[in-house]
Amino acid sequence: MRRTFQVTLAVLLCTIASATTAATEVAAAEGSYFDNFMDWQELPAKMVAPPAQYLVTRLTEIEAIKKGEFETVAENIAKKQAFLDGTLIAPSKGAIAIRINFQFANVEVLYSADEQKYTVVQKPGQPWCLEKYREPVFCNFIIADYQSKYVKDPLGRPGLYERGTAFGITTAFDSAFARRYVRFDSGVIDVIPYPIEQAREVSTKDIRIMLIGRIAHPTVNDAGARMQTPSLKTADDIYIPRKGIPFNVEGILYYVLGSPKIIAKRDFRK
């Protein structure tokens, strides 16, 4: 069955209980910030890097903080900022890391024993990060309330019916991160030299990404939608709006699931 987005919530690396209080989050924030990530030889023992689902949950909570009738825009933004300051992703406290699963990014890691290197490949289909007409890049983390099924239209033609909401980040189209990771087709997006002796100890399926950076503004941006309207040419009926929080990507860590091992680091602050 064809699916442009693969969405299985069960593959998230860890979950954050919805009942987690702001006080608990602040207490856990000791290892949440990543300003010196390029100095690390391995992941710190006290590191706190929530899964993408955590950012999505906070994003929807920010979106729910509506501007009151007698409230200025500045006051509303200050209220959203105050909310973020009580979470693990407070931009005022330092760079944060969000765990990204390759399944949601639609990429995979391959190893070449002959060349002794990993290649990070954008697979065919929906790209991880989208950019159009020099607008902010949208990078998908997860799709909420996803539905995908085949139905028949009034003419009896089978068509794909898809619904859901894509959540992620938006970032500048001309940033160092976007220049490396935005692709309009499939192909290599990163190359990581790695000795074969060390590679033998790592399964490529266990390699993951941490996206490091800061929330640029406590708002939620509409980033268009993936849409297909039934027509004479197709019976497909697809509507998946995209929502992202502005995020300045400062770096990436490639790491091994269940281990402190770091495979590679990328610094986009230069």
Of 11 and 237, more confident: 237
**Which pLDDT band holds residue 100 (cuts at 50, 70, 90)?**
confident
pLDDT in tens, 120-132: 988 887 778 887 7
Buried b (16+ CB within 10 A) or exposed e, 23-40: eebbeebeebbbeebeee
31 pLDDT band (50/70/90 cuts)?
low
Q: Please give the average per-residue pLDDT across 218-225, as a whole number.
A: 85
Residue 32 binned pLDDT confidence (cut-offs 50, 70, 90): low
Determine the average pLDDT of the residues in 13-34.
42
User: Residue 41 above 60 pLDDT?
Assistant: yes
Residue corresponding to tokens 């002796």: 197
Q: Are 106 and 126 in contact (CB under 8 A)?
A: yes
Checking if the pLDDT of 16 tops 50, the result is no
The pLDDT of residue 220: 84
Instruction: For 170-220, give the DSSP string.
Output: EE-TTSHHHHHH--SSSEEEEEEE--HHHHTTS-GGGEEEEEEEEE-SS--
Instruction: Report the alpha-carbon distance of residue 36 to residue 93 in Å, rounded.
Output: 13
The answer on pLDDT for 22 being more than 60 is no
Cα separation, 167 vs 151, whole angstroms: 26
| pLDDT value for 211 | 87
59-92 tens-digit pLDDT: 788 889 999 999 999 999 999 988 888 887 777 7
207-219 pLDDT tens trace: 988 888 988 888 8
Rounded to an integer, the average pLDDT of 133-144 is 80
**Residue 57 confidence (pLDDT):** 83
pTM for the complete prediction? 0.75
Q: What is the DSSP letter of 235?
A: -
Helix H or strand E encompassing 122: strand 117-122
Torsion-angle region of 225 (φ positive above 0: left; ψ -120 to 50: alpha; else: beta): beta
Spatial distance between the Cα atoms of 108 and 144, rounded to a whole number of angstroms: 22
95/71 Cα distance (integer angstroms): 30
- At 13 the pLDDT is 25
AA letter at 14: C
- The answer to whether 168 and 140 have CB atoms below 8 angstroms apart is yes
Average pLDDT score over residue span 101-105: 68
**Residue among 201, 148, 144, 187 at smallest CA distance from 167:** 144
Whole-number average pLDDT of the chain: 80
How high is the pLDDT of residue 144?
Answer: 78
Q: Are 242 and 166 in contact (CB under 8 A)?
A: yes
